[in-house]
Structure 1
Amino acid sequence: MTTAQDSIHARLTRLREHPEAPALVRCAGARASQTITAAQLLDGCRRTAESLRAAGVRRGDKAVIMTRDAYELFVAVQGLALLGAVPALIEPRAEVRRCLDEIGPGVFIGERLAHVGRRTLGWGRGHLHTALVTGGRVPGQDRFLGRSLPLPVADGSGPPPSAPVPHDEDLAMIAFTSGSTGRPKGVEYRHATIAGQLTALATVLRPEPDDVLLSCFLPMALLGPLLGLPTVAPRINHLAPVRTPPGHIVGPLLQHGATTVVASPAVLRLIAGHCARNGLTLPSVRRVLSFGASLRPRLADALAKVLPPDAEILSVYGATECLPVAALAAGDLRELGTRPPRGHAGTCLGRPLPGVEARILDADATALGEIAVAGPVVSPAYHARPDATAKAKTVADGRLWHRTGDLGRLDDQGRLWYLGRTAHLVTGEACTLTTEDVEAAADTAPGVRRTALLGIGPAGQQRPVLCVEPMPGTDRDAILHALRTALGDHPHGRRIGTVLFHPRFPTDIRHNSKIDRTRLAASAARHLPGPTR
């Protein structure tokens, strides 16, 4: 249950209590960084709000923000909030124009490259009345891209920002889904939603006075300071996280003594691999939170080798529409993966967090159905998408439930089990296979980085195909033998008649962890003979 003290307004106010304490560290590489105090951060929010007001931004305006800089993102979001405007967060990608046409923003705030994309691809055309360019001005910028909005780090000498306390149900932000499992949708966050998410995150992070957060996901840099955590934002390639030089992550972690790391499995693999290759350990880290895709025991084991013995590794489950939902320690993940309760294959997600409730809708005879979530972390609607809202939101027992699109079960101890996306169910003439059930077993095979079960062909007549992303330098015949062993005792292992190798799976741009199965299936179909080609 959330209270007034959980709100963004209250948490910003609490930052004033320790004005000289570090609040945000913006990194420029492996070693260069700038530490920003709470006073500077608050002063920056106030000055940004004044600049936005002078540029014509008004209460109720919807404003797209595209910047890769953590400080600019924080002060732009909070500056808009101080004016009663609504920030909208979206990654630059092919669907941006359609998404922005949907929400109709009047303001576009971003770095020069984002504005080049806006002008070239027509993002927001017909809606925008104010274009603001962050960073230094270049010749011709005002004419071709937009008015300059410099956001230098404030000196902290000004008064803290002040604004009316918003109502819980006021729209606070629009955050777009990644689009990795379908068309991106703008998720509405009310002030109560963000307060609920902050409270739930605090139960997972369990912040202590000396904690330092390393945030490898840019929006998390918005939340870390509000949770009272000095937040280190490494210079990550946010459009392709796996292409980030790993030293740009590990260097700041070691330099600033990060105690908590929040990252996707793809980024955690970068960290673990870099440390292993260079003989490094991470002595300051007490807790690692993995999110964005399933955490595999093999990756957890690789991380454990470079962490202190008592460090905790947690796999966190949630979605843009409801984050976080559940968490499970790596030790339990490993134990339950090798000895799952009867009838509960797939991957265990853990128990729902305090205040969050989960249930299974439309369950079949095996208790498998769609995971639905209720609680203060759940967003109430998609912006300007009543069709999507009606499909995903339902009211039962006096509560709003979000249908996640994930298949799962609840065991007799109240733990959630994940079996894959409903849209990825493989339906053949004589079998129905869930992706996570097969992949969780296949991913244990030596030489396999990860696998993806696909259904090629029309629903009801699909051919089960297992795609394999091998580890570099491994022998394919050895991998095939290892897969036969890994799936030998699996009840559906014999139904996997086709195995295809793929050098690198296409993934979502946000985490580089969720497999883009539509693109992968198109590639697989081209390599199959017969009518499914």
Structure 2
Amino acid sequence: MAHLHARLEQLAAERPHDTALVLGRRDGPGRAVTFARLVAGCREAAGAFERAGVRRGHKAVTMTGDPYHLFTTVHGLLAIGAVPVLVDPGLPRADLRQCLDEVAPEAFVGQPLAHLGRTALGWARGHVRTAVVTGAAVPGLRRRLPVPRARRGVEPSGPPTRNPRPPAPDDLALIAFTSGSTGVPKGAEYHHDTLAGQAETLARLVGTDGTLFAGFLPVVLLGPVLGHTTVAPAVNHRAPARTPPGRLVRPLVENRTDVVVGSPAVLGLLAEHCARRRLTLRRVDRVISFGAPLRAALADALHAVLRPDAEVLSAYGATECLPVSAVSTAEARAPGPGTCVGRPLDGVVATILDAGPDGVGEIAVTGGNVSPAYHARPEVTAATKTVTDQGVQHRTGDMGTIDAEGRIWFHGRRSHRVLGTDHVLTTEDVEAAADTVPGVRRSALVGVGDPGRQRAVLCVELAARGPGRPAVVAAVRELLDRRPDGRHVTAVLVHPGFPTDIRHNSKINRERLAGWATRRLRRPR
């Protein structure tokens, strides 16, 4: 696939009046933006950045929840050879400060609230020389350098913004920070050919036409480039799981969506709302879950509101290599160790490194979609990246196996293993079984104590409907007692609501959960 911005220009020339992006609203119908209008917005943004002093190679932190502004900002920066930096503003304050100090950005682009945070909290202080405000200006903040809003019925005029020299495939294109579910987020670098590789790999999952429902913002950046009409619902991106489900279902139905992409938290909202309203999503051909393993209960709930022949897939990957593989719900139920996440997609190679006698080792991935380095983290890059004949190999930090049929079996994060005195437990084996117990919404295995002497504790979050707490705990304990690894779990604790990552509301923050379990076990009974 060509450079992303060149591909977008080509689509605008071929299909100028087709809808590229549908902007969901909190209430009422969404706004449709054509390919021609979207490219015009990118050109206008590129011109605004150039006039503001943003230059090739400048790193520009991008913070906006508006899908149109996000798209035109990122692609406008790419068009002039600048480097968008994507980081979650809701990260813990110290983590966010560290991320921005590592990047040392020359520019900061965002909605007014992001700029207020920047000035009040000192984000990237001493680095940012250019500030661009998207949306409405805030009096006294600084002179406004607007990134234009989407305008109906307006098509581009004049030639596209051109660089004196188009970006080279191995030029730094974008920095995306990880979610921070396993420590301070790291900035994954993408070259222009990395972005093209991610787009090509994603296209193998979602196709290259039809209507795509983008349940989280990163998909919005690639959907139109792949040729999709991309529906961007009014998701609460600071807490996706708290989004009123009507904001999701209405644009999905009104725009006759073919493919739905979202995290388990967002997909759970969709499934629950449709079941409550007895609504069947008859137009949807495929649902793809990203961000965390798709458990059987949610898969069943999704199938219940889809056509019988519709697919539900669980995709596996990471910020550094997305996507890697995908598996249908039918194949995911196959018995085996851990959780089956499917075969690698075409162009992606997965291997197991440092495997033990049981075949479990660290999953490593090679392909055109693999980030070649972490920004300003040379020691982490050296520990996780190796140049091979097939390209850069990335150690994912995930434990797993690959079976004789080439399927990857996920066993959990390496850093989340419970290291006891005479045993090592990976999280996925225990949790996948516990999550099948009636009344369990989800579970999380954590270690209490020092590594090498840790006590294995299973935390359980109860479903909204089901048996009471004593019955659920007893059922989980009975299941564990029947499993060889279950005897090592010394306590089952019910938690009122797991802490999760900001981006997906699906990845469990096990460090915080382990701290909670430690305090609970110290309380007198």
Q: What's the secondary structure of 1:219's corresponding residue?
A: helix
Following superposition, the deviation at residue 399 of structure 1 comes to 3.3
1:307 maps to 2:329: no
Q: How far apart in 1 are the matches of 2:300 and 2:351?
A: 31
User: Deviation string for 1:109-159 (max 9, x for gaps)?
Assistant: 1001101111111101000101111112243232xxx53414222521313
Contact 1:30/1:251, CA 8 A, preserved across alignment: no
Q: How does 1:22-61 map to 2 (within 5 A)?
A: 22-61=19-58
Q: Which residue of 1 aligns with 2:484?
A: 491
TM-score by length of structure 1 reads 0.94
Q: How does 1:511-530 map to 2 (within 5 A)?
A: 511-529=504-522
Following superposition, the deviation at residue 488 of structure 1 comes to 4.2
> What percent identity do the matched residue pairs reach?
54
Contact 1:41/1:75, CA 8 A, preserved across alignment: yes
Q: How does 1:68-79 map to 2 (within 5 A)?
A: 68-79=65-76
Q: Which residue of 2 aligns with 1:425?
A: 417
Code of the residue aligned with 1:484 in structure 2: it is R
Q: How does 1:84-483 map to 2 (within 5 A)?
A: 84-92=81-89, 93=91, 94=93, 95-142=95-142, 147-154=144-151, 155-159=154-158, 161-163=160-162, 164-208=165-209, 211-334=210-333, 336=334, 339-340=335-336, 345-397=337-389, 399-473=391-465, 474-483=467-476
User: Deviation string for 1:326-371 (max 9, x for gaps)?
Assistant: 000111112x1xx22xxxx110011111110011111111111100
Q: Which residue of 1 aligns with 2:79?
A: 82
1:21 maps to 2:18: yes
Following superposition, the deviation at residue 482 of structure 1 comes to 2.1
Distance 1:71 1:481, change over 3 A: same
Distance 1:305 1:46, change over 3 A: same
What is the number of residues matched between the two proteins?
Answer: 517
Contact 1:61/1:105, CA 8 A, preserved across alignment: yes
Q: How far apart in 2 are the matches of 1:169 and 1:150?
A: 28
Q: What's the secondary structure of 2:344's corresponding residue?
A: coil
Code of the residue aligned with 2:273 in structure 1: it is H
Code of the residue aligned with 2:6 in structure 1: it is H
User: Deviation string for 1:6-55 (max 9, x for gaps)?
Assistant: 75423432332010000001111243310000110011111111111111
Q: What's the secondary structure of 1:199's corresponding residue?
A: helix
Q: What's the secondary structure of 2:521's corresponding residue?
A: coil
Q: How far apart in 2 are the matches of 1:29 and 1:400?
A: 42
Alignment gaps of 5+ in structure 1: none
Q: What's the secondary structure of 2:14's corresponding residue?
A: coil
Contact 2:271/2:301, CA 8 A, preserved across alignment: yes
Following superposition, the deviation at residue 441 of structure 1 comes to 0.4
Q: Give structure 1 regions of 4+ aligned residues with deviation exceeding 4 angstroms.
A: none
Q: How far apart in 1 are the matches of 2:304 and 2:159?
A: 44
Q: How far apart in 2 are the matches of 1:111 and 1:16?
A: 30
1:509 to 502, 515, 520: 502
Code of the residue aligned with 1:61 in structure 2: it is H
Distance 1:64 1:282, change over 3 A: same
Contact 2:264/2:290, CA 8 A, preserved across alignment: yes
Contact 1:216/1:261, CA 8 A, preserved across alignment: yes
Contact 1:409/1:418, CA 8 A, preserved across alignment: yes
Following superposition, the deviation at residue 65 of structure 1 comes to 0.6
Alignment gaps of 5+ in structure 2: none
User: Deviation string for 1:57-104 (max 9, x for gaps)?
Assistant: 111111011000111011111111121111111110222221111011
Contact 1:6/1:198, CA 8 A, preserved across alignment: no
TM-score by length of structure 2 reads 0.96
Contact 1:454/1:465, CA 8 A, preserved across alignment: yes
Q: How far apart in 2 are the matches of 1:24 and 1:475?
A: 45
Q: What's the secondary structure of 2:115's corresponding residue?
A: helix
Contact 2:367/2:390, CA 8 A, preserved across alignment: no
User: Deviation string for 1:154-176 (max 9, x for gaps)?
Assistant: 52131352424321101111111
Q: What's the secondary structure of 1:317's corresponding residue?
A: strand
Distance 1:58 1:489, change over 3 A: same
